[in-house]
A and B are shown apart, each in its own frame.
Chain A
Amino acid sequence: MTQLAIIAGYLALLLGLGALASRMSRGTSRDYLLASHSIGPVLLLMSLFGTTMTAFALVGSTGKSYQLGIGVYGLMASSSGIVHSLCFFVIGVKLWKLGQKYGYTTQVEYFRDRLGSHAFGYLLFPVLVGLVIPYLLMGVLGAGAVINGVTRGAFPELFAADGHGVPPWLGSLVICLVVLGYVFTGGMRGTAWANAFQTTVFMVLGVVTFVVIAREIGGGESFLESLQGATGRVLESHPEKLVMKPHPLFFLSFLLIPLSAGMFPHLFQHWLTARSASAFKLPVIVHPFFILIVWVPCVMVGAWATSAVVDGQQVFATPPENVNTVLPIMVAKVAGPVLSGLLAAGILAAVMSSLDSQFLCLGTMFTNDIVLAGRKGNRPVDDTRVVQLARWFIVAIVAVTYLLSLGTPAAIFDLGLWCFAGFSGLVPLVVAALYWRRLTSCGAAASVVAMVGTWLALFFGDMGVYPPDPRYRFLEMLPVAAIVAVPALVLVVVSLLTRPPDESVLARFFPEKTQAPRSVR
């Protein structure tokens, strides 16, 4: 019960933060959606990192490391350290500049302008929403698993089927309602603040979790001896968890997964909150280091969990049915109720710091790309009505996601690989839009259709199972390789075969190449 009280207190704190941000609001939709482009480098770093580090990074990585061993860090974390910053560098700064110049709030607004095609927005919008839903699902599943994991045994008379802990369906529901609460009251400013606060919370408590777990299962006088003891146990009973054995092509294909950050709609919206282009410098540099701080402990804890012994009993005598519970169960086993509650709040912070941005972004996309874009003539806009519509759409999507979470729980890591593969498949489109004048609306549309077709064909046609099969390979690589390559090829071929875009459109997006060349002074 103590754990639950601490978690409840933390959730109340977040709702208070949302209310505080609401008091600072200027009451306009631009302030609600983009915090009036006022976010500086430090807040931008924290909010971008908090947004990209999801249940996938904490709950998913620990569970996957339990299954595969420490190689998970090489598969996802070190590649993300290179590729995420690359996306901020090559895509983020450029989109920020265009967003500033032409007043964009969403990706669809940019693509409509860049391609000179209003209809393209109606193709891209459902695809983006369709990909955000499994992303949300990871957070909702992760939240339910964490609360269940740390409260197991807290209700001896209740919830026998869920280890006498809070059932995952209930934990997920509460987290959804809390995040909806502070997003609705605080908008983007509240979300950015909550992200920064929660990023700090989960990084600090993440390190504390690591130290506590190491001390408990490793023993030893000093911290170093604890680390040596914990790894030593793995070396004795599961040495295969301490090496990497991926097929080189399989390993290579993992580089394409973090590329997905280039097309996350919520990340796009966070990019636009930046006060200046130079505000991106700090996130570009520090983001890989933050990844290291979060992932190394999680991956080590996952490997240690295979051989961990607490009070003379093996923590996982048999592999858990749901690998998402590895981290929360480890926390619950080694920490007392107070610390366990605090550590759980830290894990939930990571989960919620992504959910909030995604919720807000969905509302923004719906109002801007569908409602406002579909109005006829120059009818005046009721700002309050815009914000209300955004909220209703968010509630609808969260309800759908929540219902999906009630089905068979997928391993978050494997679900993430498929979800991120879809976003990665759209990255050739945004790169071409930014850097290739010859891109046409037909090429862009064909590329999106090709991405969706390839994704569906591989997922339902070839693999055909849910939850996703973690052993699945296509040509020895992750499906993401095909999901990126096919749309990229289609984009180039169809663009070259169709009429080049109008010079008037190109002049807006490539002004430096349409002006007469100037000599260097």
Chain B
Amino acid sequence: MTKRGATSAVWGRRAFWLSVVVLVAIQQYPGFWDSRTLVLDFLPAPLFYQVVVTLLAVALWWVGTLVAWPDDGQSETTETTETTEATAGGEMAPREDGS
């Protein structure tokens, strides 16, 4: 990685973690707690607000997996010391979800 790329990655990670803190602050914001507005005439505004926070969390964690993922090596399963394995035999584990 170039020096410029490394610096950019560091700033990306910092911006991401700062965004997490901001999201927590948004989640704690009490501005809508007392609102009696019903969104679409059925969803109470305080609940709607918290639902939006959850959707923001989905988006934020997606960004996090792109810019701040803690495993850059993308390590795959390797055979480890298996002190209790009776029949290891060195075979590879089957994949179980078709992904």
Given known contacts A242-B44, A276-B75, A292-B51, is B84 in contact with A381 (CB within 8 Å)? yes
Q: Which secondary structure dominates chain A's binding surface?
A: helix
Q: A36-B93, A89-B70 are in contact. Are A288 and B58 (CB under 8 A)?
A: yes
Do residues B97 and A244 form an inter-chain contact, with CB atoms below 8 A? Answer: no
Closest B residue by C-beta to A274:
B77
For residue B94, give the distance in angstroms from its CB to the closest CB of chain A. 6
A86 touches B99 (CB 8 A): no
Residues of A within 8 A of B69 (CB): 93, 278, 281
A289 in contact with B55 given A251-B28, A296-B47 (CB within 8 Å): yes
Q: From residue A395, how far is it (CB to closest CB) to chain B in Å?
A: 21
Asked if B18 CB lies within 8 Å of chain A CBs, one says: no
Question: In whole angstroms, how far apart are the Cα atoms of A94 and B24 in the complex?
Answer: 23
- A40, A246, A372: the one within 8 Å of B97 (CB): A40
Contacts of B49 in A (CB 8 A): 74
Contact at B50–A74, with CB atoms within 8 Å? yes
Residue of A nearest to B52 (CB): A78
Does residue A35 face the partner (Cβ distance < 8 Å to B)? Answer: yes
Smallest CB–CB gap between A403 and chain B, Å?
A: 32
Q: What is the bound-complex CA distance between A71 and B50, given in angstroms?
A: 9
Chain B interface size, as a band, is 35 or more
- Quick check: is B98 within 8 A (CB to CB) of the other chain? yes
- Shortest Cβ gap from B70 to chain A (Å): 5
B85 touches A100 (CB 8 A): no
Measured between C-beta atoms, what is the minimum distance from A119 to chain B in Å? 20
Given known pairs A224-B42, A243-B36, the reply for A41 and B86 (CB within 8 Å) is no
Complex interface: chain B residues within 8 A of A248 (CB):
28, 30
Interface residues of A in 218-263 (CB under 8 A from B): 224, 227-228, 230-232, 235, 239, 242-246, 248, 251-252, 255
Contacting residues, chain A, for B6 (C-beta < 8 A) = 520
Task: Tell whether, in the assembled complex, residue A255 and residue B75 are in contact, meaning their CB atoms are under 8 Å apart.
Answer: no
What would 10 more interface pairs be, CB under 8 Å, given A43-B96, A232-B42, A276-B76? A29-B86, A30-B84, A74-B47, A78-B57, A82-B53, A97-B71, A232-B41, A244-B46, A275-B76, A296-B47
What are 16 A-B residue pairs whose CB atoms fall within 8 Å in the complex?
Answer: A30-B82, A37-B77, A71-B33, A73-B51, A74-B27, A81-B54, A93-B70, A231-B43, A231-B44, A242-B36, A243-B36, A255-B28, A276-B77, A277-B73, A292-B55, A521-B2
